[in-house]
Amino acid sequence: MRNPLTILRQRLAAHREVRADGGTATEAGSILDRDSVRSAPFWLPPFLLIGLFIYGAIIWNIVLSLTDFQGLGSPDYSALDIENYVIAFTGGTPSWSSLTVDPVWNAAWNTVVLMVSFSVVCLAVGLVMAILVDQEIRFENTFRTIYLLPMSLSFVVTAKFWLYMYNVETGLVNLILGAVGVGPIEIVQNPDLKLAAVAFALIWQFSGYAMIVYLAGLRAIPTSHFEAARVDGASTIRMYWRVIIPQLRTATVSALVVLTVFSLKAFDFLFSMYGGYQPGPSADILATRMVREAYANGNWAYGSAIAVLLFIMALAIVAPYIYTQYQRGEL
């Protein structure tokens, strides 16, 4: 068959001739000769696996969110409606429950606050550290290894470490505050500080990642750009601000996308920190709310509806990113 990719046609032209000499294949070979089909044993099984487990599950989840599935038993797909979404936005008593269900605004707000504060601070810390590490320092590898170390840990483990750091009586944070004459203050169970404490621990874990991404970005900038800015007489800080940082846009965008998605996954951290599904209203995020509704309260369909909202948030961040990557031919 014709193959429309000219590069491929060129590449395969010789191949076809060889086979034509053998007298077995012709230009109008069967569909089985297409490279997409011949390479199918390699890409099709993995594709079916993600098709079933990722995309099949997402579609199934959307359908589930339209049911009244609650408690034990199995979902009833005969009556679908958007009641769960109405409840998610306005609250009230749904038909599948005798109890009032809260809307998701509080958790959604906390999700956005955590996402924005965590990713912005991570990027800022990462950028400053990348610039410092890029100063031809000695032991660069050792420093980099130390800065990235927390990222190899599980959310569950870091939550345990920070629970200890934040402890009122014995925590290092309070010991330091005590040394400067403040506190001791309750942090982990303090409604005013909870979310900040979570964000701070996550920044500790992931700012090293932002540094690695920025460092790669800095190393990709040609030395001549640094030199040109020097010749123009720009001061060091102005040179970085005007010449270097604008060139780090790609690094910023890709780090930002990854970090925001990480913050949507902060469930593991909160579950470990608060020993269960109840971080309390001031640290409740959509990820936690969804799992709590489904797995602790048995409100499966309502949990699915919250999951759809979370999925839409992730999609809104990721889809433009993948689209620009595609347009640039970087996929």
Partner 1 sequence: MSTETGRAGERTLFGHSLRRLILYLVLLGMGAFYLIPIETGLMTSIISPGTYSGNLPYLPPLEPLVSGTGAFSLEPWRGALDGLGQGLVNSVILVVPATILSGLLGSMAAFGLTTISWRGQIGIYILFVAGIFIPYQAVLVPLTQFWYNIVPLRSMFEPLAALPLVETYHWKLLALIITHTAYGLPICTLLFRAHYKKLSDEMVEAAQLDGASIATIYRRIILPLSIPMFAVVFIYQFTQIWNDLLFALTIVQFGDAAVVTQELVGIGVSQSGTNFPLRMAAALLAALPTLLVYIFFGDKFAKGVAA
What is the Cα gyration radius of the chain?
27
Q: Pick the stretch among 83-91, 97-105, 179-187, 309-317 that binds partner 1 (CB under 8 A).
A: 309-317
CB of 310 to partner 1, least distance (A): 5
SS3 1: coil
Look up residue 245 and give its two tokens.
């940082």
Residues 220-259 that bind partner 1 (CB under 8 A): 223, 226-227, 230, 236, 240, 257
Q: Could you say whether residue 204 binds partner 1 (CB under 8 A)?
A: yes
Q: Which of 6, 23, 28, 136 binds partner 1 (CB under 8 A)?
A: 136
Binding residue (CB under 8 A) for partner 1 from 112, 113, 177, 318: 318
Q: How many residues bind partner 1 (CB under 8 A)?
A: 118
Q: Which of 44, 82, 120, 124 binds partner 1 (CB under 8 A)?
A: 44
The full DSSP string for 111-122 is HHHHHHHHHHHH
Among 87, 127, 130, 286, binds partner 1 (CB under 8 A): 286
Q: Which of 73, 94, 71, 70 is CA-nearest to residue 84?
A: 94
Interatomic CA distance for residues 126 and 215, integer angstroms: 9
Contact in structure between 272 and 289 (CB atoms under 8 Å):
no
Token pair 């483990």: residue: 157
CA distance 246 to 47: 38
Task: Kindly tell me which of 15 and 242 has the beta carbon lying closer to partner 1.
Answer: 15
Residue from 41, 90, 327, 328 in contact with partner 1 (CB under 8 A):
41
Q: Which is nearer to partner 1, 82 or 172 (CB)?
A: 172
Select 90 or 135, whichever has its Cβ closest to partner 1.
135
Contacting residue, 147, 195, 283, 284, with partner 1 by CB under 8 A: 147
The distance of closest approach from Cβ of residue 196 to partner 1 in the complex, given in angstroms and rounded to an integer, is: 17
Amino acid at 123: L
Span of 93-101, 102-110, 191-199, 210-218 interacting with partner 1 by CB under 8 A:
210-218
- Told to check if 79 binds partner 1 by CB under 8 A, we report no
Q: Which is nearer to partner 1, 113 or 157 (CB)?
A: 157
Confirm if 217 and 251 have CB atoms less than 8 A apart.
yes
Count of helix runs (H) and strand runs (E) in the chain? 16, 0
Are residues 170 and 164 in contact, defined by beta-carbon separation less than 8 angstroms? yes
The conformational region for residue 183 under phi > 0 = left, psi -120 to 50 = alpha, else beta, is: left
Q: Smallest gap, in angstroms, from Cβ of residue 282 to partner 1? A: 20
Question: Looking at beta carbons only, is 109 or 326 nearer to partner 1?
Answer: 326
- Quick check: 115 binds partner 1 (CB under 8 A)? no
Over the window 153 to 182, marking each residue x when it contacts partner 1 by CB under 8 A and - when it does not, the resulting string is: xxxxxx-xxx-xx-x-xx-x--x-------
* Residue 193 makes contact with partner 1 by CB under 8 A: no
Among 1, 20, 40, 116, binds partner 1 (CB under 8 A): 40
Asked whether the beta carbons of 317 and 119 are under 8 A apart, the reply is no
Instruction: Catalogue the long-range contacts made by 72-81 (C-beta closer than 8 Å, 24 or more residues apart).
Output: 72/298, 75/300, 75/301
The SS3 of residue 39 is coil
